[in-house]
Amino acid sequence: MSTGRRVLTSLALVLASGAALADSVVFLDGFESYSSGSILNWTPPVSSPWTLSNGTIDLIHTGNYALSASAGLDLLNGQSFFLDMDGSTHQAGLLDLHNILTPGQQYQLDFIVSGNQRGNIGYTTSDTVDVALLQGSTAISLVNTTLAHNAPWQIQNATFTYQSGDIIRFRDLGSTDNVGYLLDNVRISAVPEPISMVMLGFLGAGMLGVRKLKGKKQ
Ligand SMILES: [Ca+2]
Ligand SMILES: [Ca+2]
């Protein structure tokens, strides 16, 4: 292989590896595998990376309680189960995700949410989706948005850099009427590092070498 072709092959490999990293999903939970039916005041199993405190959430199977999963947005991990983030004890719980990420790495968090779907039958007409990165006693807001009860399923996302011990906390801010926003398909992907300056320098030197070789041949 000529030097020029080697340099181009190296560039192609670098670009290809970047494209692969952009799609590197490190966590995905569509809540499909926990139960065969709805569970009010659901407790995540100890074997899961989730913990729940200070209140409750419900695991809902589509069709129960007049609730439905997303149409078209839930393709990644099934369309049956999702969470109602204000359970059935008049206190919305704190749902925490921890110990699944690498310190120092940048990540993108995606998830889908809908309004509570029942504001038209006497419950709150909106709920606030609040997601934060807890670093010790500091809370960094990742998503804070208020959804009308009839807001359709939609994607929310945020990027963050994970530090050791950080917790990602989902909650329905201020909701105490047993009817909260609906959550599904929590996905975390590693954000690829940009091509380093060292690599660019290597490529530049390689291209310079090609030019010199061509110059000698002429
Ligand atoms: Ca689901
Ligand atoms: Ca509510």
Structure pTM?
Answer: 0.80
What is the Å distance from ligand 2's center to 180 Cα?
4
pLDDT at residue 75 in the model: 57
* Same domain, residue pair 11 and 60: no
What ligand has the least distance to the C-alpha of 128? 2
What is the Å distance from ligand 1's center to 135 Cα?
28
Q: Measure the CA–CA gap between 95 and 166, rounded to whole angstroms.
A: 14
Residue 78: CB partners within 8 Å, gap ≥ 6?
A: 30, 32
What is the Å distance from ligand 2's center to 90 Cα?
9
Q: How far from 76 is each of 10, 27, 73, 165, 196, CA to CA, in Å?
A: 33, 12, 8, 28, 32
What ligand has the least distance to the C-alpha of 179? 2
* Same domain, residue pair 13 and 102: no
Residue type, 177: D
* Same domain, residue pair 129 and 56: yes
Q: How many domains would you assign to the chain?
A: 2
What ligand has the least distance to the C-alpha of 129? 2
What ligand has the least distance to the C-alpha of 113? 1
* Same domain, residue pair 51 and 118: yes
| Gap between the terminal Cα atoms of the chain | 19
* Same domain, residue pair 105 and 160: yes
Which segments in the chain show pLDDT lower than 50? 3, 7-21, 197-198, 218
Which two tokens mark 74? 């839930």
* Same domain, residue pair 3 and 92: no
* Same domain, residue pair 209 and 180: no
Report the CATH number that the domain containing residue 111 is assigned in CATH: 2.60.120.260
What ligand has the least distance to the C-alpha of 29? 1
The b/e string for 171-190 (b: 16+ C-beta within 10 A; e otherwise) is bbeebebbbbbbbbbbbbbb
What is the Å distance from ligand 2's center to 170 Cα?
14
As beta bridge partners, residue 45 has: none
What ligand has the least distance to the C-alpha of 127? 2
Full domain range(s) for residue 153: 25-191
